[in-house]
Amino acid sequence: MTSLLADPEKNGYPENMQDRLFQDPDLVQFYDPDNGWGDDTRHCLALAEKVESVLDLGCGTGLLAAALGPGRDVWGVDPAEAMLEIARKRPGGSTVTWIQADGRSIRLRRRFDLILMTGHAFQCLLTDADQSALRETIAAHLAPGGSFIFDSRNPVREEWREWVPDLTRRVFDHPELGRITAWNDVSMDAETQIVTYETIRAYPVNAYTYYMLGAANHLSRAR
């Protein structure tokens, strides 16, 4: 396993994109129990079956990259060190090169058969300039004949309107803290079309007291 660090300030990673949801270890510990394998990650796993090299931009806690690592040259890039700490320790993590860096400006001087950006990470690029910078990164790293796969919500669907407590309340198990109750809430700035959602998680301290952790903000471009 190799871990590299790119200075977030030199990469120009903006403060408003350094969400506590991904940066704070106290919050990151809930990420995997609350987010497992989905149709998107399973689909990407299947698409990567025959490739020899993969770059996972916005790899988070490394669920997909670590699964792809054995037998391939896999690199996982994420700006959040707290997420990468989990990625390094997960099964298969030792087969991946992990890099803390901003996907808009990183240059690895190597090319990959497949570049992935899952988990709607593309929607964290809030400006046209951010998205153009990401496209330049892809162009600099994609091998001839290679593929770039990313996902993004359909803005016409306005899925964000459903990110409210009554519709997002869920329960999952944490390996150390036990049963966790979580929910989301959301707001949208009509002028900028930026959606801000909050993730709140609560768990019992004793029979009479619940500890509530959150609300971590995450910004996403609605349109």
Residue 208 binned pLDDT confidence (cut-offs 50, 70, 90): low
- For residue 17, the cross-strand partners are none
In this structure, of 3-12, 78-87, 101-110, the range with the lowest mean pLDDT score is 3-12
pLDDT at residue 16 greater than cutoff 60: no
Instruction: Kindly state the average pLDDT of the residues 203-212.
Output: 67
pLDDT in tens, 83-95: 999 999 999 999 9
Termini Cα distance of the chain? 38
pLDDT in tens, 112-163: 999 999 988 888 888 889 999 999 999 999 999 999 999 888 888 888 999 9
Predicted local distance difference test score (pLDDT) of residue 109: 96
DSSP string for residues in 23-38? H-HHHHTTHHHHS---
Contact between residue 199 and residue 182 where contact means Cβ atoms under 8 Å apart: yes
Beta-carbon contacts of 98 under 8 Å, excluding residues fewer than 6 positions away, are: 1, 2, 3, 4, 59, 62, 75, 76, 78, 84, 87, 88
Residue written as token pair 């990407």: 44
Residue 17 binned pLDDT confidence (cut-offs 50, 70, 90): very low
pLDDT in tens, 26-78: 888 998 999 889 888 999 999 999 999 999 999 999 999 999 999 999 999 99
pLDDT at residue 188 greater than cutoff 60: yes
